[in-house]
Structure 1
Amino acid sequence: MSQSDEDDAPLCQGPDPKPRPPGYALPPGATDCHAHVIGPFQLFELQEDRSYTPPEAPLSAYRTLLDTLGLERGVVVQPSVFGTDNACTLDALAKHRNRLRGIAVIDHTVSDEALERMAGNGIRGIRLNMLYRGGVSTDHLEALAKRIERFGWHIQLLIDCRTLPILAPKLARLPVDIVVDHMGHMPASAGVGHPGFRLLLQMVRDGRTWVKLSGANRTSTAGAPYHDTIPFAHALLDADPTRLVWGSDWPHVAIDGYMANDGELLDLLKLWVPDERQRHLVLVENPARLYGFGD
């Protein structure tokens, strides 16, 4: 890689190499609904058009994370650095058909045969990344939604929900559910009263939008232990606890500064969702419905 390439897609730090368990026991069937498997690079090459260069975060390391945290299941989300080449994600799913499900990145050129193979291999949705290079734009959103509807898939959006009012009319016309990453991925300093977040809450209430309780170390403006994110989680719970899932966001790509331990983030979940019954929904029941665990 040339110096200009390094400047254009800077190397980002890896996750905490010594994850610790949370301070409470997770229920059977607990699920991490947002993680990325990256590499090994000798088998799965990064695409040139990307916003960052991650270190390897292979399947073996992700298995260790799940086991350490007490999570039985995981959802592997295709990262932007691989573009529409889903080989790394599909490889992980093939090795753990009962434990893992996946989210792919596709564009309008994907064949029906490829979609059918992905469905058979555990893919349960497609992701549109509107924040990092390497993602897919919304130009073909409606056409893609129609093509994936027959599989029961959803569309996952990495979006700053301050811009949600612009996209919302298009989303309302889609025949599939929407999943929004990282509680809307807007800075906590914007507040729960921001019009974009209020719209997200209404979309959750309307019953066709899910939200991932994740990304505190991305959205907090106060820093660790990220308590300024708690009002956002509570507002989402008030909207509808049956439409929320939790994700680690491991290996926390493109994070500057302090790297949170994943056990620390699960401890935060107990503050986000203090009621044990609601936490069971978020960790077990909701993921089983959304991703088809047990199918």
Structure 2
Amino acid sequence: MQSRPLPSRRAFAGFLTAGAGLAVLTACTPESSTASAEVSTATPSPSAAMASEPAAVTPAAAASSTPASPPPSSAAATGFSLTDPVSPWVVVNKHRPLNPPNYVPADLVQPAVRLAVSGEASMVNSTTASAAEKMFGAAAAEGVVMTLASGYRSYTTQIATYNGHVAGSGQAAADRASARPGFSEHQTGWAFDIADGGGACSFQPCFADQPAAIWAKANAHKYGFVVRYPWMFHDTTGYFYESWHLRYIGVDAATDMATRGISTLEQYFGLEAAPDYL
């Protein structure tokens, strides 16, 4: 898997600290590391985090937090599991680890899109791949070139990534810079990061002003994707704005979220905010 150096993440932290008085949190951080620091034993178990979770839900619960919004469309109201990683609606955040934590999608494929990475990082599940091909094609037809910059990330890769941060700066800082193993959306196969065709501002705050990010923010829902970590919703999602991180939930649900002005999966499915690990 292609790795990226840490300075861009540190630059992101400096930007937020100086400009907004905030420390950066990121779920992406695809850098790999061979550091041998042990994974924190403070990670909550999947059974504890999900014991009271129903097997399948509809987004109707979100209506209580957005009373002025119309009810979910009949198409979007079809229930999917929020805990099963094979579900397009699985919600993974700092309160909701994957179950099992070492989950591997059975249908990983490399989409026929422009790639900035190789190996496992160039792969997503087959449903996401098909939707990505349509989205990248539509963007290209409008003169916007985007690349897939980081796709699937295995549990083993996330261990190395997270432990590299722990070894370099301690666990508290690591939790602000990298998802713990078993807590990354990238492991589900439903998420990937994009970059602009010219490579400008990749994984940096200024990426939000690049053509690929602008186009995706306005159009990704038409192909089933949402910007998973939107601007100024870090107290809900646990991560600061990542204009490059797209998550597939299906066209109906993504369009329903866009139409109703709902920004996060936590709000849409009526789940608690997850700013920090339990």
TM-score with structure 2 length normalisation? 0.30
The structure with more helix, counted as a fraction of residues: 1
TM-score with structure 1 length normalisation? 0.29
